[in-house]
């Protein structure tokens, strides 16, 4: 499948909202508010990256990246997600392509690292792992991926309020 990953534009906002709604519709762990979280990140100027995967002129995937606040004051850490791939396009490498593009962009920005509040083999394959000294505010799953030789901070991770589950 021929898929291209690019930065989202304002013209993509409706497609991203619909894609995100459809993508999370049957996800049991979803609060069904991922689309509003993305809109809140956008309106607060907290969308560091907004990437879309496009196939035949249609948005079939989206990935949001936003700043992460750490209790020890460490800077340049980011949250990966929400990540959405349309149900008919799953299993075709779109999520991997979006994540690889985001990781490359963050490394180019000289980010210290990033986290996901999720688990799964995709994240492990891309270098995300649990870090004993890094915890999620309010509990839950947290996987980290530091860049270069940087060590993960010893801190509590606090995402943007739109992404909080507590």
CATH code of the domain containing 59: 3.40.630.30
Q: What is the predicted pLDDT for the residue at 37?
A: 92
Cα distance from N-terminal residue to C-terminal residue, the chain: 39
Q: What is the predicted pLDDT for the residue at 119?
A: 86
Q: Which of 52, 65, 69, 66 is nearest to 18 (CA)?
A: 52
pLDDT level of residue 93 (50, 70, 90 thresholds): very high
pLDDT, tens digit, 9 for 90 and up, residues 102-160: 999 999 999 999 999 988 899 999 999 999 899 998 888 899 999 988 888 899 999 99
The set of long-range contacts for 123-130, using a CB threshold of 8 Å and a minimum separation of 24, is 123/99, 125/96, 126/96, 126/99, 126/100
- Domain residues for 125? 4-163
Q: Where are the alpha helices (DSSP H) in the chain?
A: 13-24, 34-43, 94-108, 121-125
Sheet with 113-116, strands from edge to edge, namely: 4-7, 49-55, 58-67, 77-85, 113-116, 143-146
Q: What is the predicted pLDDT for the residue at 166?
A: 61
pLDDT, tens digit, 9 for 90 and up, residues 31-73: 778 899 999 999 999 999 999 999 999 999 999 999 999 999 9
CB atoms < 10 A from the CB of 148, how many? 9
Domain count, the chain: 1
């Amino acid at each position: 499948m021929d898929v291209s990953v690019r930065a989202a534009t304002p013209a993509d906002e409706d497609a991203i909202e619909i894609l995100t709604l459809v993508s999370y519709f049957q996800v049991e762990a979803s609060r069904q508010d991922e689309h509003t979280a993305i809109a809140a990140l956008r309106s607060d100027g907290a969308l560091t990256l907004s990437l879309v995967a496009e196939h035949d002129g249609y948005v079939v995937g989206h990935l949001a990246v936003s700043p992460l606040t750490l209790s020890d004051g460490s800077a340049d850490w980011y949250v990966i997600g929400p990540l959405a791939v349309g149900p008919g396009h799953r299993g075709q490498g779109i999520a991997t392509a979006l994540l690889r593009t985001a990781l490359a962009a963050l490394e180019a920005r000289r980010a210290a690292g990033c986290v996901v509040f999720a688990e799964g083999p995709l994240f492990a394959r891309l270098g995300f792992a649990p870090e004993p000294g890094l915890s999620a505010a309010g509990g839950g799953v947290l996987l980290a991926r530091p860049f270069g030789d940087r060590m993960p901070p010893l801190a509590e991770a606090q995402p943007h309020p739109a992404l909080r589950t507590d």
